[in-house]
Amino acid sequence: MSRPQSSSATDQQVAQLRQQFAKLESESNARFEAAQQSIKQNRQVWLSLKQQNKDLKQEVSKRGATASRDAGKSQVDRTIEKLEKEVHELRRQYDKIMQEKKTAVSKLDNLQDSVRELSKAPAGAAGGTRAGSARDSAGSREAREMRVLENRLDKALMKCNEAQSIRRTYEQ
């Protein structure tokens, strides 16, 4: 009978060992599955990072190409701006010269009127008609005022044209 006890003790030990083995096997399977899951997640992260890296490289290459084109444009833009400034300066000089010309023409007209008045004054004094010379001087005053007003108008028109020219330059 000692054998059945030993057999039952051995059976119990075998059962315990089988339970421990099953427990260890399930733990091992759980660890294996967790490791596989971790590997799978790491692989997905790696693939995602690899794709992002590829996208970023493409973006950098695009921006590099764009930057080189922009550098070319900026040189062209600088040249255009320089030429526009020169055109603007030449336009300003032209307008200034035209204004000086108009002023000189106006002064010439005034001087010619004065010469005419002076040449008429002795003739009127010799004839003895004071009323005629008063009419002439009133007419010449009006003519002079008219020229002054015309000159003012011309100056205002010049300023207006210059302002429009500047506006067109900036709009381009």
Angle at 5 between CA 4 and CA 11, to 5 degrees: 85
pLDDT greater at residue 35 or residue 116: 35
Span 44-49, mean pLDDT?
Answer: 92
What mean pLDDT comes out for the span 96-118?
A: 85
pLDDT of residue 1: 41
Quick check: pTM over 0.75? no
Please say if the pLDDT value at position 130 is more than 70: no
Q: How confident is the model at residue 171 (pLDDT cuts 50, 70, 90)?
A: confident
Residue 50: the pLDDT is: 92
Alpha carbon distance 10, 18 (integer Å): 12
Residue 115: how many CB atoms within 10 A of its CB? 10
Poorest-pLDDT segment among 31-35, 45-49, 120-124: 120-124
CA distances from 82 to 70, 75, 87 (A): 18, 10, 9
The C-alpha atoms of residue 23 and residue 171 are separated, in whole angstroms, by: 84
Joined together, the tokens standing for residue 80 give 């255009």
**Is the pLDDT score of 153 beyond 80?**
yes
* CB distance 134 to 124 below 8 Å: no
Angstrom distance (rounded) from CA 82 to CA 59: 33
Per-residue pLDDT for 126 more than 60? no
CA 35 to chain centre: 56
Q: Which residue has the higher pLDDT, 1 or 72?
A: 72
